[in-house]
Chain A
Amino acid sequence: MGSPSTHQITKLLRDWSGGDPSALDQLTPLVYEELRRLAAAYLRRERPDHTLQATALIHEAYLRLIDQKDQRWENRAHFFGIAAHLMRLILVDHARVHRAAKRGFGESPLPLEEALVMSVDRTEELLALEEALTALAAFDERKCRMIELRFFGGLGPEETAKVLGVSVPTVHRELKLAKAWLRRQLTSPEKTAEM
């Protein structure tokens, strides 16, 4: 199964940043598939007790998909911007499927190994986080993107600042409020964003 060539991806990124919106449509499924593939391949190579970092996957995908000779920063920034968002989609999709599967058990007795797996299940927390992020984006899109880049994409403050075209102190300040808002939202769900 061939991966898309690095040239292809790099070119698409360039096209997109050059103002061709259709490039993004072509780019998205390629990155998406690569992330999923990497995630699936991951455990086969690693020791079973090794913790998989979502953010490590994105960096790995970057190394595989982007022509490393291309040093232009904006390509890297665009790539991470897309990849972080896609990672969020992948994880949330997975969580939704997982939840549906769990509910589907219905009357049949829960197999033991299933019961064991459930002990580390944090699906609901992720889905709650997703809901909170969507709510946040409704009135502050940029903070939502910051969280996405920082936590789903694993970008540091400098990289985040570059991707969003803001200063590093701004990233620090805004992330601080975004995290506080999310924490409040997640610990007291009855408080909505409505005021």
Chain B
Amino acid sequence: MTTDRWQQIEGLFQRVSDCQAEQREAFLAQACAGDEELRREVRSLLACDQADESFLEEPIQCAAQGVAQERTVSLVGKQIGPYRITALIGRGGMGSVYRAVRDDAEYQKEVALKLVKRGLDSEDDLRRFKRERQILARLDHPYIARLLDGGATEEGLPYFVMELVEGSPITEYGRSHPIPELLALFRRVCAAVEYAHRRLIVHRDLKPQNILVTPEGTPKLLDFGIAKLLSAEESTHTLTAFPILTPDYASPEQQRGEPVTTATDVYSLGRVLEEVLKGQSIPEELAQVVQMARNEEPERRYRSVEQFSEDLRRYLEGLPVTARKDTILYRARKFVRRNKLAVAASVLAIVSLAAGTVVATLQARRAERRLNQLRSFARTVIFDKEIFENLRTLSAREKLISTTLTYLDTAARESRGNAALERQLAGAYQRIAAIQGGVASSPTLGVTDKALASYEKAASLFERLLARDPQDRNLALQTANVYNRLGDLAGDDPTALRHFRRALEIAEPRFASGNGKEPTFWNPVKRAYIGMGQAQLQGGDPRAAVETLTGILKRMSSHEGLIANGALGSALWDRGDLEGAARVWNRMLVDDLPRILGKVAATDSGAAQGLRSGTGNVLAGLGNLYGNPNELNLGDVGRGLQQLVKAQVLLEDFVHRNPDDADAGWLGRCYAGLGALTRDPVRALEFYRKAVPLLKGPALAASRAQMAYPLRKLGRRQEAASELETALEAQRTVFALSELGDLRLEQGDAAAAMAHYREAVELGQREVAVKPYYMPGRRRLADAYSRMARLHEHARNWEAAGEWHGKSLAIWKEWTKWGVSSPYNVRRERQAAQAVLRCETALTPGSDAGGKKADLP
């Protein structure tokens, strides 16, 4: 932008803002004098002139917060007390450790300086800190890194200066040494801890990172007593001290916030030894020793580090150890489970800390409790809409879900045989699945698969539980519900039926055993039957669908039957029972729907709207049933149009109010129906053009193929061909193939027409074989036969034409063997018979129609 232009904009902006609101437009128009761009620019700036400043303030605020939360500003090169920081060694929960030198003239010595994150809040804190430091400074042992100095920075952050130890954690050392050597080293560690214990100093935070081994193989213990130094009065500050502990090594009593004794260090040493020995094959006796050191209950551990060390010596020398055998098995099993769950627990600890539930986390030691946390975590993070929606990106949500799933899977592997755990897990999977199924408002590919996988996991856990306790009605109810969801999600996949059947197997006998007075089981029974009916309908077995749906409708009160009746109408239609379908839907229109609508309209506008759209759907269905030539129909175009127009009004209104609703598809079908029933090809095309964007899948392909007809009528063959080819790319259907054949014939390409018709016939035959009771399929095949026949008639090949018409006639004659009779098949049978007769007459010698046969490909 040029400065001149900007000044022009600015001047005008200021003058217009000074105007009264109602005069602005006029002033602006006059001042711009035809410079449209200037007017647009100033107008859009005025629109953005709002008092709210949060769009500037908030991001700045958040960034400032972020800067402040950065752990520490780099201190390298800085001075702390008399020490100059030279490098960062590491960062941990407590703070950062630096390499530093004392810059005094007297001596230059490298030290480790540990800067603690948390400040010392009061004078008392400071005094106590000094006192403790003096005690620690007296620890003088070759395996303990000496505390040299300490103090507080300008901001009041405590720091410690320790002997600088160059070494690696004892666990790393463990990888490359045999057991006897490791035990000898470990006993030296024990000796150091023992030394401190005799001076009544407990380490409290023994972990591999605090037990280093120098390149010469000397162990060095770091941070002796520092945890205590920072924890202040147990009673008031325990919680703040907790986050610095390492849950993997801290003893249970410590995590519970109980008083810490030397037994705490025994436990941590046991855990460390366990880690050191990890990956080696540990003889059972040694495992017993470790197990005893790290016993959950302090009183069952070695009474001192000395005893622990002594038992290790006995083991090394081949003497029987004192660790008692009897508890081993039970404890060992429990231990294995614990450790695997520890992964989940430590993450939970982090999350829970953030959620302010420190106490609960640290006190919950038992596996069941952990699972509870997992659940509550899942509830708060994933099932709390607000938090979940705050994770703005889909990928963040997916990651959260997949992380949770990982933990659930871990827990599931370890929970075999533990009914309470399995039950909670199954519930958790169920909820995750519900989320997965609903993550995307328009389900994308793969979303359903993921939800299905989680439901399957829930189902298999529930099954196992139910087998163990078939009397548990609650469990049975949950299991049935999961199978119903599985069925819903499977859609038209054949597995859907299996899921609904299983739901029924579980729910139906339990419903029956309650003498029909068990309303809790009525819902899953109902849902399963309706779902089964819909799956059968979609799978092209209307006969089974009719049976299923009539069966359940008999057991339902009339107000329950909307969905089932809707589906029943469709199923009857596909059976060929057009009058039956019309009866069901008309009854819904004149009776069920208005009655229910009358009940809910006043109280629940959402439900009322839903019912109106339902009414629209039924009307659209009826309209097509009466007169849509592309469907089996009752041949009443006038009545069909009347219903479709009514449907259009209702559905347009609904879609207008609920733009995201999936019911837009019904409006699409309604438009397509109007397109098919409208004689004027221009208007028909308009309807199809409205239908196309609202439809998807097979319905979309069908609509495009149907559109070819009005296009052909208008002579727009090129467009017709392209619509048909698009439809065929999406799905090869008998209808589209037949239509394309018709078009090619019209264009004079009999060979191409023949090829398309032939493919249509073959496809139709296959479909009829697979779905024998799906009557629209039989009708399409009959259509394909008739087209073949007409092609031959066109070529004056009367014999072949007669044969093809005969095949078509056979379908209509056999109609009632597979489906239900209606005026439609009666009419078509008559037409087919006339065609056969026509060909036979033509074949009769002397007939006018004879003439010369043309050659056909």
CB distance from B844 to the nearest CB of A (A): 77
A44 within 8 A of B: yes
Is A1 touching B153 in the complex (CB atoms < 8 A)? yes
Q: Contacts of B350 on A, CB cut-off 8 Å? A: 111-113
**Residue of B48, B80, B347, B402 ringed by the most chain A CB atoms within 10 A:** B48
Contact, CB under 8 Å: A109 / B402: yes
1/0 contact string of A86-129 vs chain B (CB within 8 Å): 01001110110010000000000111110110111111011001
Shortest Cβ distance from B389 into A: residue:
A119
Give the CA-CA distance A115 to B41 in the complex, in Å: 41
Contact among B48, B60, B80 for A181, CB-based, below 8 A: B48
Query: Which of A16-24, A160-168, A172-180 forms part of the interface with chain B?
Result: A172-180
Say yes or no: B41 contacts A39, CB within 8 Å.
no
Select one of B5, B69, B78, B396 contacting A1, CB under 8 A. Answer: B78
Instruction: Report A143-178 CB contacts with B as 1/0, cut-off 8 Å.
Output: 000010001100000000000000000000100110
Interface residues of B in 776-801 (CB under 8 A from A): none
User: In the complex, what residues of B have CB within 8 A of residue A45's CB?
Assistant: 119, 155-156
Interface size range of chain A in the complex: 35 or more
Say yes or no for A30: interface residue by CB 8 A criterion.
no
How far, in Å, is A40 (CB) from chain B's closest CB? 5
CB closest chain-A residue, reference B391: A119
Contact of B64 among A3, A53, A123 (CB under 8 A): A53
CA distance A45 to B154 in the complex (A): 12
Known: A40-B73, A110-B400, A181-B45. 8 other contacts (CB 8 A): A1-B154, A51-B61, A51-B65, A112-B347, A112-B350, A113-B351, A115-B396, A119-B390
Q: Which residues of A contact B1 (CB under 8 A)?
A: 138-139, 193-195
Q: Report chain A residues within 8 Å CB of B363.
A: none
1/0 contact trace for B29-42 toward A, CB 8 Å? 00000000100010
A-B contact pairs, 29 of them (CB 8 A): A1-B78, A1-B154, A3-B154, A37-B73, A39-B67, A44-B119, A44-B156, A53-B61, A54-B63, A54-B64, A94-B63, A94-B66, A98-B66, A109-B403, A110-B400, A112-B347, A112-B350, A112-B351, A115-B391, A116-B354, A121-B62, A123-B63, A140-B3, A151-B56, A177-B14, A179-B48, A179-B49, A186-B55, A193-B1
Give chain A nearest CB distance to B756 CB in angstroms: 47
Binary flags per residue of A1-14, CB closer than 8 Å to B gives 1, else 0: 11100000000000
Q: Please give, as numbers and ranges, the residues of chain B lying within 8 Å of A177 by CB-CB distance.
A: 10, 13-14, 45, 49
Decide: B66 and A115 in contact? CB cutoff 8 A. no
Establish whether residues A180 and B64, one from each chain, have CB atoms under 8 Å apart when the complex forms: no
Given contacts A41-B155, A90-B67, A112-B350, contact A147 B381 (CB under 8 A): no
- How many of B's residues come within 8 Å of A, CB to CB? 64
Per-residue contact bits, chain B 168-182, to A (CB 8 Å; 1 contact, 0 not) = 000000000000000
Q: Is the CB of A139 within 8 A of B67?
A: no
Q: Is the CB of B69 within 8 A of A180?
A: no
Query: Which residues of chain B from 385 to 410 have a CB within 8 Å of any chain A CB?
Result: 387, 390-392, 396, 399-400, 402-403, 406
A-contacting residues of B (Cβ < 8 Å)?
A: 1-3, 5-6, 10, 13-14, 17, 37, 41, 44-50, 53, 55-70, 72-73, 75, 78-80, 117-119, 153-157, 347, 350-351, 354, 381, 387, 390-392, 396, 399-400, 402-403, 406
C-alpha spacing A19/B84, complex, angstroms: 36
**A105→B157 CA distance, assembly (Å):** 32
User: Which one of B57, B69, B390 has the highest number of Cβ atoms from chain A below 10 Å of its Cβ?
Assistant: B69
Q: DSSP class of A's interface residues: helix, strand, loop or mixed?
A: helix
* Min C-beta distance of A55 to chain B, whole Å: 9
- Would A139 and B63 be within 8 Å (CB), given that A177-B13, A184-B45 are in contact? no
- Docked CA distance A123–B69 (Å): 14
Q: Which B residues lie within 8 Å of A39 (CB)?
A: 64, 67-68
CA of A81 to CA of B592 in the docked complex: distance in angstroms? 75
CA A112 – CA B157 in complex, angstroms? 29
Contact B64 A151 (CB under 8 A): no
Instruction: Please name all residues of chain A whose beta carbon is closer than 8 Å to the beta carbon of B391 when the two chains form the complex.
Output: 115, 118-119
Which residue in B48, B64, B118 is a CB contact (below 8 Å) of A184?
B48
Does A57 belong to the interface (CB within 8 Å)? yes
Q: Which residues of B contact A91 (CB under 8 A)?
A: 60, 63-64, 67
A151 and B118 in contact, given A91-B63, A94-B63 (Cβ under 8 angstroms): no
Which residue of A is nearest B154, CB measured?
A1
Check if A63 is an interface residue, CB within 8 A of chain B. no
Residues of chain A with a CB closer than 8 A to B55's CB: 125, 182-183, 186
- A122 contacts B399, CB within 8 Å? no
The answer to whether A187 touches B48, judged by C-beta atoms less than 8 angstroms apart, is yes
